[in-house]
Structure 1
Amino acid sequence: MALSDAAVQKQIKHMMAFIDQEASEKAEEIDAKAEEEFNIEKGRLVQTQRLKIMEYYEKKEKQIEQQKKIQMSNLMNQARLKVLKARDDMIKDLLNDARERLATIAKDPNQYQTLLEGLVLQGFYQLLESRVIIRCRKEDVAMVQTAVQKNIPIYKEAVKSNIEVRIDENTFLSPDISGGVEVYNADGRIKASNTLESRLDLLAQQMMPDIRVSLFGANPNRKFTD
């Protein structure tokens, strides 16, 4: 039996409604799936970016900490250098003061004569030459001659050898020298400097560790003292 037009239309509407329902459900399913994937991808991207941000700031924090350490080390080194310079300046001032006081030694004839005798004899022993030349201050020539005459027998007895001594009266020590002598071998190539200034410098060099300890105390970082 053939369907009437009304029945056909009814079936068509029913099928269309079914298709629309299926399409709507499928669309909702697709939207839900897309939303889920979107949220998953968004979460992944957020987590990735969060880790990158954390890594970036962690790296920056380490860089800042390293810079702080470097800056602190530089400041400590600068402070240490300033302390060392201040100490060196103090020692230089002490040595300069000692050099200024050297001039007073020669003002005591008896004390200075004894000192000259020791410096001349030491010059003989330092060179151990058969002929020597002595240079001194112009005003010290007579005292040096006395010291030479006294020390020649002492030197001969000690080393069992003769010595010929000449005082250079053409070339004298600089006026800036406070006293003492310079002893040369015959050709002038070897010199034993026994001026008051050179003896002070030698003494200061030898005693510098003790001077530093006296002024600034023992160095706690120093392992050996000899």
Structure 2
Amino acid sequence: MSAAQKELLKISQDKDAYKSMLEKLIVQSSFQLLEDKVYVICRECDKSTVEGLLDNVEAAYKGATGKSLSISVHPSKSLPKDCAGGINLCNINESITISNTLEARLDMLAKAGLPQMRETLFGSNPNRKFRD
């Protein structure tokens, strides 16, 4: 797991691939949040890249949902400098936040893989009725 966290830091070094990934993360988060006005919270070093993507995100959102989206970079918040990258998306009053940072996505994958890891390490549980 720690090796994977170290590898996350390398992702943002490929500027073109990272830019494309940021756009997809913002669009995905917009679909999850389903709000008209949202803020993107990103690293300070990603701010200009994210600002350049917002028109594309708004167009993709409108094309998929038929609703308009007003999206901007948060005026006062940013992700920590030691963050590997990605974004957080929140509504205007910041009551709902979608975390789509690279660390959050790695945690999600680790949790999804726990049952398989558990079975590999300890064998099949005879008391378990369902294998979903």
Report the TM-score, using the length of structure 1 for normalisation: 0.54
Question: 2:128 matched to 1:225?
Answer: no
Aligned equivalents of 1:211 and 1:129: distance in 2?
37
Determine the structure 2 residue equivalent to 1:117: 23
Is the 1:138–1:169 contact (alpha carbons within 8 Å) kept by the matching residues of 2? no
SS of the residue corresponding to residue 224 of structure 1 reads: coil
> How far has the Cα of 1:135 moved from its partner?
0.7
Report the TM-score, using the length of structure 2 for normalisation: 0.90
Pick one of 56, 65, 90 that aligns with 1:184. 90
Counterpart residue type for residue 219 of structure 1: S
RMSD: 1.6
Counterpart residue type for residue 187 of structure 1: N
Residues 75-224 of structure 1: pairs in structure 2 closer than 5 A: 95-213=1-119, 215-216=120-121, 218-221=123-126, 222-224=128-130
Aligned equivalents of 1:209 and 1:148: distance in 2?
38
Counterpart residue type for residue 203 of structure 1: L
Unaligned runs of 5+ in 1: 1-94
Q: Percent identity?
A: 33
Residues 12-51 of structure 1: pairs in structure 2 closer than 5 A: none
Counterpart residue type for residue 190 of structure 1: I
Aligned equivalents of 2:77 and 2:100: distance in 1?
16
Greater relative contact order structure (CA < 8 Å, 6+ sep): 2
Aligned equivalents of 1:115 and 1:217: distance in 2?
36
Instruction: Count how many residue pairs are aligned between Structure 1 and Structure 2.
Output: 131
The 4+ residue runs of structure 1 with deviation greater than 4 A are none
